[in-house]
Amino acid sequence: MQRRRKIGLVAAGLATSLLATLTGCGGENPLGGEVSLKLMAVEHGDRSGNSSQRFWDKLIGEFRFEHPDIDVDVDLYERDAIDAEVRERVAEGRTPDLAQTSASFAGYARRDLLYNAREVLSTHTQASITASLVQAGSVGHVQYGFPFSASTRALFYNKDLFEQAGVEEPPRTWEELLRTARSLKAVGVKTPYGLPLGEEEAQAEALNWMLGNSGGYLSDAGSYDIDSPQNIATFEFLRDELVGPGLTNENPATTDRQEVYAAFLEGEVAMLNGHPGLMQLALENGIRFGTSPLPGRTAPARTTTGVADWTMAFKENGHAEEIRAFLDFVYQERYVVEYAGTHTMLPVTTEAAYTMREDAAHKPLWPFIESLDVARFYPLGKSSWGPASRRLNATIGSAVLGDGVPRTVLGRVQSDAVAAEAEAETEAAP
């Protein structure tokens, strides 16, 4: 049984104290009545100074000043634990009003458990959300997932190791990446390229490489296309040109992302695909690094992998108007900028993105912010993506091993995904 990891409860104490001090000064709540919203959120901080709890304490206090009749209780969980907790609460009849997820929201939407964007977001808020995130948060062209935090991927490289190998520029193509990796290997670099295809987040690393060869998880028609010719060729390249010659970590199929990140921060990995949060960690560990677009087969990839945490609004408790008031408050520019900046993430609204692009303090994030407009996200609009991605994470790494056969491995993942989609459609049928 998965161990539950609840980070902490954001109490309403700050809000209560503020209201007691400012009694009679706050705006009246036109909704009437006393309502308590239950929110389950992800803890994105890695230290007390950037804890998500501090953000929510402050925001809820300010929200209660404007809406004194709406209380908000927030439970924080680690990102890899919250999805199971949400499923358990819904199954037990303890459904929250709002919950963040990194997994698919489509299953809840197909069971008619969620409010859609038109029901709980103002027109202004709907229009402010970045278009690529609106599309990724939709099921059948109706938005049910509301992005709260986002990130994209870029190639990170160690400048000191590059200088040792006489490499002046980051690679733009796969062939350049191979030449760079060989040069790094020749001067004794332990891991020229860090390739994490273990179960933690293989779906991200796999998509990074698929996109570099005009591939992906879906066809243009929206059906699963995991074993496409482009994807098979991508994994044959990884097996034969990168893993086989020893230019990666020893066993990519069992190597998780955090292991590769840790090795990069120790100066042992020269190149890897990483998210914006890796920048601060690299600075803290004294790593001189650079970032560049993901290399593609013949040119830099035109897109990149996008990842987001999504807020779902559940119908169970009937608090649509109160949820609307809270979400419209949360999506104000200043809060989106504050959360993204504090946690080295990307703003999810166009207004906040413009503000951060105009502020030199956020300059390291600018390339990531720009790439968000063209990022490719996981097919979360399919309720089958949950079981499909679990199968993918558990098996796709074997395709790059010496005895791996990409056509066979990707074919099995494709078959499982198609079967999961058929089962999901059957369950959703009236």
292-309 per-position pLDDT tens digit: 999 999 999 999 999 999
List, in sequence order, the alpha helices (H) in 70-218: 79-91, 106-110, 117-120, 123-128, 131-136, 159-164, 174-186, 202-211
Question: Domain 6-151+307-369 in CATH: superfamily?
Answer: Periplasmic binding protein-like II (3.40.190.10)
Helix (H, G, I), strand (E, B) or coil at 426: helix
Helix (H, G, I), strand (E, B) or coil at 424: helix
- For residues 326 and 348, give the distance between their C-alpha atoms in angstroms, rounded to a whole number: 17
pLDDT digits (tens, 9 = 90+) for 382-393: 989 988 999 999
> What is the pLDDT of the chain when averaged over all its residues?
90
Instruction: Give the bridge partners for 138, in sequence order.
Output: 143
Question: Measured between alpha carbons, how far is residue 374 from residues 130, 246, 368 in Å?
Answer: 10, 33, 10
- For residues 285 and 288, give the distance between their C-alpha atoms in angstroms, rounded to a whole number: 9
Q: Tell whether the model's pLDDT for residue 8 goes beyond 60.
A: no
pLDDT at 103: 78
Q: What sign does the CA torsion over 421, 422, 423, 427 have?
A: positive
User: What count of Cα atoms within 13 Å lies in the side-chain half-sphere of residue 20?
Assistant: 6
DSSP code of 250?
S
Q: Tell whether the model's pLDDT for residue 12 goes beyond 80.
A: no
pLDDT at 5: 45
Instruction: Indicate the pairing of strand 376-377 with strand 305-313.
Output: parallel
B/e letters for 366-404, b = 16+ CB within 10 Å, e = fewer, are eebbebbeebbbbbbbbbbbbbbbebbbebbbbbbbeeb
pLDDT at 373: 94
B/e letters for 83-109, b = 16+ CB within 10 Å, e = fewer, are bbbbbebbeeeebbbbbbbbbbbbbbb
pLDDT digits (tens, 9 = 90+) for 40-60: 999 988 765 678 999 999 999
Q: How confident is the model at residue 102 (pLDDT cuts 50, 70, 90)?
A: confident
Q: Determine the average pLDDT of the residues in 251-279.
A: 97
pLDDT digits (tens, 9 = 90+) for 353-382: 999 999 999 999 999 999 999 999 999 999
In the chain, the amino acid numbered 340 is: A
Q: What is the pTM of this model?
A: 0.89
* Tokens 């998210």, located at residue: 275
- For residues 92 and 259, give the distance between their C-alpha atoms in angstroms, rounded to a whole number: 36
pLDDT at 33: 57
* Tokens 């709540």, located at residue: 29
pLDDT at 22: 36
- For residues 73 and 54, give the distance between their C-alpha atoms in angstroms, rounded to a whole number: 14
Q: How confident is the model at residue 116 (pLDDT cuts 50, 70, 90)?
A: very high
CATH code, 154-303+384-428: 3.40.190.10
Is the Cβ–Cβ distance between 43 and 7 less than 8 Å? yes
pLDDT at 10: 40
Q: What sign does the CA torsion over 57, 61, 62, 63 have?
A: positive
Domain boundary assignment for the chain? 6-151+307-369, 154-303+384-428
pLDDT at 16: 39
pLDDT at 49: 66
Instruction: Indicate the pairing of strand 376-377 with strand 142-143.
Output: unpaired
In the chain, the amino acid numbered 226 is: I
Is the Cβ–Cβ distance between 273 and 153 less than 8 Å? yes
Is the Cβ–Cβ distance between 34 and 69 less than 8 Å? yes
Q: What sign does the CA torsion over 210, 211, 217, 219 have?
A: negative
Tokens of 225: 């296309």
- 34-48, 153-167, 324-338, 348-362: segment of lowest average pLDDT: 34-48
- For residues 424 and 430, give the distance between their C-alpha atoms in angstroms, rounded to a whole number: 12
DSSP code of 314?
B
In the chain, the amino acid numbered 279 is: M
For residue 265, the Cα-to-chain-centroid distance in whole angstroms is 21
Q: Do domains 6-151+307-369 and 154-303+384-428 have the same CATH topology?
A: yes
User: What count of Cα atoms within 13 Å lies in the side-chain half-sphere of residue 129?
Assistant: 29
